[in-house]
Amino acid sequence: MTTLAKHLLARIEAHGPMTVADFMAESLLHPTLGYYTTRDPLGAEGDFTTAPEISQMFGELIGLSLAQAWLDQGAPSPCTLAELGPGRGTLMADILRATRAVPGFHDAIHVHLVEASPTLREMQRATINTDVTWHNSIDTLPEQPLYLIANEFFDALPIRQFQRGGEGWHERLIAMREGALTFAFGPELPQPHLEHRLTDTVKDMIVETCAPATTTAAQIGGRIRDHGGTALLIDYGDWRSKGDTLQALKSHAFVAPLAAPGESDLTAHVDFEAIAQAAPCAHAPLTPQGVFLEQLGITPRAQALASRLEGSALNSHIAAHRRLTHPEEMGNLFKVLALFPPNGTPPPGCPT
């Protein structure tokens, strides 16, 4: 049993069952025992690998899409280039390298990173070769044009889960049984924020909600509406939440979500419909990651890089291209939602 599990059991014993959202928040961000606050979760020695760690092509194309959106909007200056949950800083470093030749872009931008983990902040400091301002939350980003990337950020925000009853909902909770963490359900109650889901669900179906995601989307969209900019939100999920998608990863393998709190990554599929509806700006149709990257020219870029490789390096490069784009790998599982100003146009890579 992990140290954090003992802490959570003591809390439940004292105060009763907790929501899935509280469990996720404690598991991931507890000040001294949380998963993200105590370790580097990425890479072969960690628990999972994200797209920027797979290939430089991902960050290069993201950067060029954002820079072209900046040009299309009249090259505003000053402006904010921001990333939510920047991991080791690999994606931002690739964005900055790829956009160095865009006239005026680096003179106009200041880099802002929203990162809660002290461990990852130090890694970002070492990776990104420019002046950076760090934030604990999106609230303190400047009120100016915003060009933002969030890759695998929304999936780690705490969710609540509700099981459909007759005309109400049972909230799924974390309780204690025989000295161990277990799932339980609360009484059936009306949930006004889920009233619209009574038309597309049946009894016992689970629906997930994520208040931090919609709050964040509202803040991003508000800045884009008021000041201009664009945001690329890339994550696994779909247009509307259906079913139990809570999952845990440890050493690149799935484990039971309650098995190792504080020592495994917890995520859930993103409800892009809720994010789009919460953002008070325009949004492009939800686009599979593979389609998005192909629209940006990943295959010609992959071919250009491949011409300078051979042997195992070439094989790894080919595998990375496939992993990012193939429908049976990340190509369809991950989706891209672009936010942009009302009456504006979507950034390159996204359909109109």
pLDDT of residue 234: 98
- For the cut 90, the answer to whether the pLDDT of residue 299 exceeds it is yes
**What is the pLDDT averaged over residues 120-125?**
92
- For the cut 60, the answer to whether the pLDDT of residue 43 exceeds it is no
Instruction: Considering only residues 28 and 74, tell me which one the structure prediction assigns the higher pLDDT.
Output: 74
303 burial via Cβ count (<10 Å: 0-12, 13-18, 19+): exposed
pLDDT of residue 40: 66
Q: How do residues 306-338 score in pLDDT, each as one tens digit?
A: 999 999 999 999 999 999 999 999 999 999 999
Contact 79, 229 (CB under 8 A): yes
Q: How do residues 176-197 score in pLDDT, each as one tens digit?
A: 999 999 999 999 999 999 999 9
- For the cut 80, the answer to whether the pLDDT of residue 39 exceeds it is no
The torsion region of residue 243 among left (phi > 0), alpha (psi -120 to 50) and beta comes to: left
Q: How far apart are CA 258 and CA 242, in angstroms?
A: 21
Q: How many CB atoms lie within 10 A of CB 26?
A: 21
Instruction: Considering only residues 34 and 320, tell me which one the structure prediction assigns the higher pLDDT.
Output: 320
- For the cut 80, the answer to whether the pLDDT of residue 346 exceeds it is yes
CA atoms within 13 A on the CB side of 112: 22
Report domain extents, the chain: 29-157+209-340
Contact 233, 202 (CB under 8 A): no
pLDDT of residue 46: 56
pLDDT of residue 1: 77
- Amino acid identity, position 229: G
CA atoms within 13 A on the CB side of 349: 34
**Which residue, among 221, 218, 196, 223, has the nearest Cα to 207 in the 3D structure?**
196
Task: Give me the phi and psi of 75, to 5 degrees please.
Answer: 55, 60
CA atoms within 13 A on the CB side of 200: 8
User: CB-based contacts of 253: which residues, under 8 Å, 6+ apart?
Assistant: none
pLDDT of residue 167: 87
Reply yes or no on domain 29-157+209-340 having CATH 3.40.1390.30: no
- For the cut 70, the answer to whether the pLDDT of residue 41 exceeds it is no
Q: What is the largest CA-CA distance in the chain?
A: 64
Give the three-class secondary structure for 43. coil
Q: How far apart are CA 319 and CA 65, in angstroms?
A: 23
pLDDT of residue 250: 86
Omega within 30 of 0 (cis) for the link into 78: yes
Q: How do residues 137-156 score in pLDDT, each as one tens digit?
A: 999 999 999 999 999 999 99
- For the cut 60, the answer to whether the pLDDT of residue 47 exceeds it is no
The DSSP element (H or E) to which 150 belongs, if any, is: strand 146-151
pLDDT-based confidence at residue 254 (cuts at 50, 70, 90): confident
**What is the pLDDT averaged over residues 300-310?**
92
- For the cut 90, the answer to whether the pLDDT of residue 251 exceeds it is no
**Which residue, among 58, 57, 51, 63, has the nearest Cα to 347 in the 3D structure?**
63
- For the cut 60, the answer to whether the pLDDT of residue 295 exceeds it is yes
**What is the pLDDT averaged over residues 254-259?**
92
Q: How do residues 91-109 score in pLDDT, each as one tens digit?
A: 999 999 999 999 999 999 9
Q: Look at 48-52, 212-216, 272-276 and tell me which has the smallest mean pLDDT.
A: 48-52
The torsion region of residue 61 among left (phi > 0), alpha (psi -120 to 50) and beta comes to: alpha
User: CB-based contacts of 145: which residues, under 8 Å, 6+ apart?
Assistant: 70, 73, 76, 79, 80, 227, 228, 229
pLDDT of residue 45: 54
